[in-house]
Amino acid sequence: MTPSKRISAITGQGSDGWEVFYRSRAMIAKGIDVVELTIGEHDIRTDPQILDAMHAAALAGATGYSLVRGHPKLRETIAARIQSQSGVATGPEHVLITPGGQAALFAAHMAACDPEDIAVHIDPYYATYPTTIRAAGAHPFAIQTQAQNEFCPTYNDLNQAPQGARSLLVNSPNNPTGTVYGPDTIDDICRFVTDRDMWLISDEVYDTQVWQGSHITPRNSPHMAERTMVVGSLSKSHAMTGSRLGWVVAPVDVIEKINDLVTTTTFGVAEFIQLAGLFALGLGPEFENQIAAPFRRRREIALKILQDFPDITTVPPSGAMYLMVDLRKTGLSGEAFANRLLEDHHIAVMPGESFGRAAAGHIRVALTIDDARFAEAFRTLCAYAQGIVDG
């Protein structure tokens, strides 16, 4: 017997982009000391006071089935947070809780797309975007952006999408590039989806990590709330990656249909985790700034180191916890460089090719280890690359 065509086609019969990461983990399992600058995982763990709240909620009995669309108080709190950020009237009826942002992305595409529809996304992209779209039964179509335009899509870029495309997925602050979309880019995105009568799915899980400019949600543009689904999560903002607590914000009728979907899939999120998330949100912006601060520091460390290596460049990230390093002057692909770096220096990074064609010849460096170790590893990486350029 063979698995279904649907599940067999999720990766598009190609690479899932994680081979270097898998190789680094295999080396670590053998006892080799590898500096991991791969995945977006905080070097700190979830704050003990959040874990205490989770523990207390579980001991108090919040271990049974939860309401499928989420705990009412948590949905109310998220709605108030979204309304405060966007200025758009938002109530708990617009919010559905999911087991992490990834589940929210899948649910949003299931809500937006019918089987065989075309779902557009921006390149470079988070590695699961095309696979999520395929899992929802749609066909991914990537819009390539350019480093010289800070990887921001223009209206003309977007207009390359096929007629009849059903949805557009955007991500700002962006993984993997760190780009934060400004007002002109947001205007182009909103004008495009309106002209084409498309759904907009806005992945905003990095909205608390902005180093330059400000986060703008397209949902607050005129007439956009009715065609926009926002994906959020506590993974990045509160260092709760393993708790798997995310949400979708969407029009009420869409939330009703997503509720039908999650009733037949995840059937809700553990209530003790939701109550811990409610506690975490109550810690306020100061706590969120503390969680984000190390990535701002390491961004500055990296940019200072790069000044010593003229042939190794980057588009300075305006947000998120990554740095996209341009290594095209080495003559190597991102994948080839990442494998050589892992072999020769036991430093693991993600190849740019894992994130699409626009990132070819780049690597993504996660700013996710302590400052001193990060500085040492990043300088070694840059010197290694510069040595290849110099021959």
The 95-98 sheet, strands edge to edge: 95-98, 246-249, 228-233, 199-203, 167-171, 118-123, 139-144
For residue 248, the tally of other CB atoms under 10 A from its CB is: 28
Write the pLDDT tens digit of every residue in 115-149.
Answer: 999 999 999 999 899 999 999 999 999 999 999 99
Domains in the chain: ranges and CATH: 5-45+286-390 (3.90.1150.10), 48-283 (3.40.640.10)
Q: What is the mean pLDDT of residues 111-115?
A: 97
Calculate the CA 369 to chain-centre distance. Answer: 19
Q: What is the pTM of this model?
A: 0.95
Of the candidates 266, 135, 282, 109, which has an alpha carbon nearest to the alpha carbon of residue 199?
109
Confidence at residue 391, expressed as pLDDT on a 0 to 100 scale = 82
Write the pLDDT tens digit of every residue in 280-308.
Answer: 999 999 999 999 999 999 999 999 999 99
Q: Distance between CA 92 and CA 385 in Å, rounded?
A: 50
Q: Distance between CA 165 and CA 158 in Å, rounded?
A: 11
Q: What is the mean pLDDT of residues 352-361?
A: 94
